Chain A
Amino acid sequence: MLFLSIALMYACSKNETELLPTQVDITFTVPANFPAPTYNFENNKLTNAGFALGRKLFYEARLSADKSISCGSCHQQFAAFANLDHKVSHGVNNCQGKRNSPPLFNLAWQKGYFWDGGVKNIETVPLNAIGDVCEMSTDIQSIITFLKNTPPYPNLFKQAFGATEINSQLVLKSFAQFTAVLVSGNAKYDQVSRKENGATFTPGEQAGYLLFKEKCSSCHKEPFFTDFSYRSNGLDLTSTDEGRAHITGVETDMGTFRVPTLRNIEYTGPYMHDGRFYSLDEVLEHYNSGVEPAENLDPLLKNGIALSATEQKQIKLFLITLTDHDFIKNTLYSEQ
């Protein structure tokens, strides 16, 4: 095993095993080809009960204003916790949000969350979706009241935190025990780069990887396939969404967005902050021929990225090696 377990958990108690049918202890594992994470559970001790509670809350639709939307509604595991076939998030009362629901994994390494990086700590991420009128349209106080009055939550909080009182901090910490544990680092690409199980690229994948390194990796940097920066890739001459500038108020950030990870890209479409592209072909063709000279266009994209039909095909073959089937099918992360 090349996985390094940095947080071995204690054996679970009787009550906890009821939540986790198998005898699996939840661990936060850092793949050998990943650096140290930003969030390391230092102030939020990971436990089986805390993880199980966080997972239950993640899939709890009754937290939303009309009891119809859970986190899992727009973050579906089979889509690597993005939202299949939805351009933008679809919240309570059929409200359409502004931006495409991003996939959720490797969040413990991320420095800013959401397309504009407006949230800087994983623990406070849920507050945004909870309060957004086009997402869950509620507030943390209503959620606390619901959890206090709805079995089995009071017991679950007691098991997870030893606490008789449910407060916002415990709700948010349990969410983080689930979301920060979502690590995707076992794609074919990872196995090849770790020289694991004799995995090798096919000639087409290998050609795609070389092209990728030459043409894409300055922004989609390994091993996360993003450098976590904010850039404009010239989707429109004038962006209708202010992007990062909404957070910083800085003119040069107008129309820039967080460079998205390409891990599990096979399943996380539609693509871009507004979900405008339904296929990877459209995305690659955008870079080949569609980059607009937007005001804050990233200098690296000044002339687009010339990609022949063969090159696009090869890059696509490589991108599909970034799919982590173990992650997408891991039942520990599924609604129970």
Chain B
Amino acid sequence: MKKSHYLIAIFCSIIFISSCKKNEDAIATDTKGQFSIEFEHQVNGTALALNTTTYKNAKNEDFKISVFKYYVSNIKLSKADGTSVLLPESYFLIDESKSDSKLITLQDVPTGDYTKIEYTIGVDYARNFAGAQTGALDPINGMFWTWNSGYIFVKIEGSSPLSTAVDHALTFHIGGVTDPNNTIRKFSADINTANPLRVRADSKPKMHFIVNAANLFTGTTDVSFATTNFTMGGDKSVIVADNYAKGMFRLDHIHN
């Protein structure tokens, strides 16, 4: 086991050295550590409860949530000196109904003090068309569109009395990677330099994010369920993506 980790470490270093710009070489290091990220799902300050609790959107319209899942990918960490590392093969599907999925662990991370984290909400362009995938990107996860291939980046379903759809359903499947309806969005959070993410060979720091599901429906454009209750890609998905890119994720604290 140890030996294989060592080999992976060497391999990653080689890839890193050969693919990164000069100023990033500095953190190519032979010591690796790990850290984890916990995504705590809320709706406007209270814990998200599927199916049971009635919430209000920014337009004061009642709604319930039955499904909430999304991709986080291409996690990148930066140090105060501007150097950064993109964590290879970092694709995660976070699903409210699967508690294990809300705590992700990143292995083989070069040790160091990181002051910024960035990631893609969704899946990068290339992987949408890269053929049959496994793991988080396996189409069995129900996050892959088969008729217009590509991943659903964020999926929220539920109901609202205001919705004109059958059974007052809310169906928001956000995805699409081509203009004018490209919904790939990046999120970044600066980390307090007084308490950076300290990745060490012998510790397991944990980042804690608050994820506010209500932010799909406010932030840039307030969404009314009377007029917008269904989207599967397209211009309405762009509105939702702009909303969640702005305020859905918030770095709350770090346990080093």
A→B interface (CB under 8 Å): 43-44, 114, 118-124, 127-128, 130-132, 140-141, 144, 167-173, 176, 246-250
Contacts and interface: CB of A to CB of B under 8 A. Distances in A.
A128 B147 contact: yes
Contacts of A167: 134, 138, 140
16 contacts: A119-B146, A119-B147, A120-B128, A120-B149, A121-B129, A123-B131, A124-B131, A127-B144, A128-B146, A130-B146, A144-B140, A167-B140, A168-B132, A168-B134, A173-B132, A176-B131
Interface in B153-203: 178, 180-181
B233 interface: yes
A124 B149 contact: yes
Contacts of B146: 119, 124, 127-128, 130-132
A282 B243 CA distance: 52
Contacts of B178: 248
A124 B139 contact: yes
Contact of B131 (A43, A132, A171, A249): A43
Contacts, number: 71
A73 to B, nearest CB: 18
B219 interface: no
A154 B180 CA distance: 44
Nearest to A43: B131
Contacts of B128: 120
B30 interface: no
A169 B133 contact: yes
B227 interface: no
B247 interface: no
A119 B129 CA distance: 8
Given A167-B138, A168-B140, A124 B132 contact: yes
Contacts of B131: 43-44, 121-124, 172-173, 176
A140 B140 contact: yes
A121 B130 contact: yes
Contacts of B140: 140-141, 144, 167-168
Contact of B149 (A118, A132, A144): A118
Nearest to B129: A120
A118 B147 contact: yes
Given A124-B139, A127-B139, A249 B234 contact: yes
B233 A249 contact: yes
Given A128-B146, A131-B147, 12 more contacts: A119-B148, A121-B129, A124-B132, A127-B149, A140-B139, A140-B140, A141-B140, A144-B140, A168-B134, A169-B132, A173-B132, A249-B233
Contacts of B149: 118-121, 124, 127-128
A169 B134 contact: yes
Contact of A172 (B129, B132, B181): B132
A246 B70 CA distance: 24
A229 B209 CA distance: 45
B226 to A, nearest CB: 22
